[in-house]
Amino acid sequence: MNRIGIAGAGAFGTALAVTLAQAGREVVLWGRHAARVHEMRAARENPLLTGVALQENVSVSAEIGDIAACDAVLLTVPTQALSGLLDDHGAALDGRALVACCKGVDLATGRGPTALIAEACPGATPAVLTGPSFAADIARGLPTALTLACAEADAGAHLQDRLSTPSLRLYRSTDVVGAELGGALKNVMAIAAGIVIGSGLGESARAALITRGFAEMQRFARAYGADPETLAGLSGFGDLVLTCTSAQSRNFGYGVALGEGAYFDPHVTVEGAPTARAVAAIAQARAIDMPVTQSVAHVIDGRRSIQEAVKILLSRPLKEE
């Protein structure tokens, strides 16, 4: 079967379906809610991505067997929902190339997406697709470059060929841990950057935050055996810049709302919040210096005010860069 399956009919999954279909691929887009799937099938549009029509070579289904029939499946559900998806359907998806398209660390286990895949589907080939991207840009065919990381080099090359399109350029890596951590940790830094802007601390402070946050990301990745250079690529630095500077970023927007003391829709997925909690706990247990992440975790949990967090960060000992 040469079709590509996509598990998760949200905005990002739909955007990937559209760009792959535009390049001539046969795509099956799966959603867990039958009523929503029926609406999308009838309207040929996802209400989360208005104005983008689904092509004829995109089939929309609520039957897991339809994507289980594909040899490659992109998993586009949020990180905190990935374990549930694999618990429910891992047996049906085992034995395939399973590409995680979510960014974060599972709060319950402290694991990244590919580790969750490997445990639930031991016969699968885990990979991760990550980097600076917004669903709306991908769906509109705007140029986007991402990292495709797979520990098996040959399998990664095959996936790179199948998933690349004229507007979606994929760069291959075998450093799965580094790619995952870059995508996860940049969301935490985006919340921090949003807090900086929402609190009125200014653009200079945001630039400093991004720079020190990037050093923190590399430090954590190194402790997990990742290549720090991976973090300097699309999956780390590239995604960090985009997410910390764009109003389209949900994590940045959440941080701005925290800084302003404004309302933020609790139904909007903010991957950086549970990731901050998980990474802060890991960093404390392993004595990894993560002051920005710790501050974000304390602020979102209400254990520290923004003013207290800023004061603590600014009072850290002076040292060489």
Distances (CA, A) of 179 to 45, 105, 128, 167: 31, 12, 8, 21
**Residue 284 host element (H or E):** helix 272-286
Q: Among residues 103, 186, 311, 319, which one is catalytic?
A: 186
Scanning the structure block, which residue is given the tokens 């500077």?
A: 245
Nearest to 286 by CA among 226, 212, 222, 236: 222
Residue 93 near residue 117 (C-beta atoms within 8 A): no
Nearest to 90 by CA among 79, 82, 101: 82
Rounded to 5°, the CA angle 248-251-257 comes to: 90
72-103 CB burial, b ≥16 within 10 A, e <16? bbbbbbbbbebbebbeebbeebbebbbbbbbb
> 290: which 2 tokens?
């993560």
Residue 186 appears among annotated catalytic residues = yes
Burial (CB count <10 Å: 0-12, 13-18, 19+), residue 201: middle
Residue 86 near residue 117 (C-beta atoms within 8 A): yes
Active site residue ranges: 186
